[in-house]
Chains A and B, each alone.
Chain A
């Protein structure tokens, strides 16, 4: 008998027991659906983080006050004394491989244009911020060193704010009020999209750091010209780690911390983020693989159980098939094909259910969901393998039956 004919026979047998077939597939369906959903969600999450990291730039160092030891935070970021303008100048002058450095002073307040207003974060920055974060303007002009020096009341606004306050019209040259201080809009930033944590990066306003200090932020402790954090971009080809060390050394010295002591600030580079993310992803991957394996094995045992019942219940049918000329191999292949078909169809249905669930999560949780074709192929290949593995024993048992015993079976 040809393989094709055997497959037809197997499919007919499955059709004849539609209810049992469905129940047998349920385990595989649920298993595959769960795996696909989880995989899609985690792939979506890691892509979002990846986008965020690349939007920050991979040659970026971020310095913040407050220490963070590897064994847990000792004090929250920002609780210790902030940096100051002189730190920025010192780093710019003393660390050769810094391509650009910008201090940041954060504030927030209501932005008013005409009769519209919008609550958002305001960042006081240096002109080099555009370079350090590789974030140019899409329209208008950047902040300049001259703006910083003059404490100019100019602002570069994010795409979201441009849309919210100005709708379709160009905001360049328009006057807005930030915390009641009038500013002139000189530029609109390029669109960056969401950050890894789901925050809209385009919902921001950049103003000169000097203006921010005097007009928008309160004085910070005893520091005359405070800087809350620094973005430092490293020259192409220079070692991130070495520049990071140099930056740390300069800051230690300036803050009178002896080498080897616990620093009261924290310098991070993006490769640490990437490493942390890779580690998380590996853990996630292991978790997924384990749960996938467990659910497929559980599903497979269900299939084996059903196939054994099926072989027992259809013993007379097997006997008849042997009496009319079925070889052992024909019976073996028939039951194997039945088992594999059960698993494969279950896998396909599970895939559809998984895609549906992922879609629902994407829609209701507003979570980016990505269906990786690799998972799709793995799920189908895995379920077919499960069918082959767990179907083999019952199929072999059927094929080894003695024709006369099978025919006489009550």
Chain B
């Protein structure tokens, strides 16, 4: 039986940058392993490094030191093009502000990653329809973002993240722009996708939102100060 490869394996990760003459330690030595099928919440106050962690693990930013392996592949030394391909194949992103293309139908938005994957025609349409069905928006695939509610827009964004069948989904404050009802709607969707086997890493500052995850990483001053699993949490 083959060994299960971690989706994310970060070792001694740090990220320093200079603000004037001051060194800001956004990440200051982070070790973490996330296995397939996990639903991880990344928590912490602003400036704690949680977003930097996500950006580096999402191959959007480079660490100052340490290593990250994504699905067994070391990001260090990869070219910009390789990183772009990796983001396309392995990762799905969900952002706080949805980042949908305006005046563009839901299905065209969902199709965007497929275009960069070189998939087009009926195959692409079929994949998009499947992704939109998974987020219960099959009926509204022709709607433009301004014709959809916030929750629906975020679900389109989730469909866009799902459409390439990635190894994991990064969600950066996915409920930050939503009201409480649609927040629950989106989080339940994440739980369902996770139950179907999708690995999800969700950045949030809201403990109620984090409660939907099965594991919670607490960041403070660029370090992980707590790593709690649901079973342990239930015990607390």
Select one of B60, B80, B116, B164 contacting A404, CB under 8 A: B60
Answer yes or no: B16 CB below 8 A from chain A CBs: no
Q: Give complex CA distance A40, B204 in Å.
A: 67
Answer whether A324 and B81 are a contact pair too, CB < 8 Å, given A16-B103, A404-B61.
Answer: no
Closest to A12 in B: B104
Answer yes or no: B63 CB below 8 A from chain A CBs: no
Closest to A1 in B: B116
State which size class the interface on B falls in.
20 to 34
CB atoms of B115 and A5 under 8 A apart: yes
Instruction: Name the segment of B67-75, B87-95, B125-133 touching the other chain.
Output: B87-95
What are the residues of chain B within 8 A of A325 when measuring CB–CB?
84-85, 87-89, 113, 116-117, 164
SS of A interface (majority): helix
What are the residues of chain A within 8 A of B84 when measuring CB–CB?
322, 325-328, 330
Closest to A316 in B: B99
Answer whether A324 and B60 are a contact pair too, CB < 8 Å, given A16-B104, A329-B81.
Answer: no
CB atoms of A2 and B120 under 8 A apart: yes
Contacts between the two chains (Cβ within 8 Å), count: 72
Answer whether A324 and B61 are a contact pair too, CB < 8 Å, given A1-B116, A316-B99.
Answer: no
What are the residues of chain B within 8 A of A112 when measuring CB–CB?
none
CB atoms of B102 and A16 under 8 A apart: yes
What are the residues of chain B within 8 A of A320 when measuring CB–CB?
95, 99, 101, 112
Nearest Cβ on chain B to A105's Cβ, whole angstroms: 79
Task: List B residues 191-228 near A (Cβ within 8 Å).
Answer: none
CB atoms of B115 and A9 under 8 A apart: yes
CB atoms of A407 and B95 under 8 A apart: yes
Would you list 7 pairs from A and B whose C-beta atoms are within 8 A, ordered by A residue?
A: A16-B101, A16-B102, A320-B95, A321-B116, A324-B88, A324-B113, A325-B117
Answer yes or no: A317 CB below 8 A from chain B CBs: yes
Nearest Cβ on chain A to B211's Cβ, whole angstroms: 27
Q: Give complex CA distance A327, B79 in Å.
A: 10
Q: Give complex CA distance A327, B115 in Å.
A: 12
Answer yes or no: B55 CB below 8 A from chain A CBs: yes
CB atoms of B80 and A327 under 8 A apart: yes
Answer yes or no: A347 CB below 8 A from chain B CBs: no
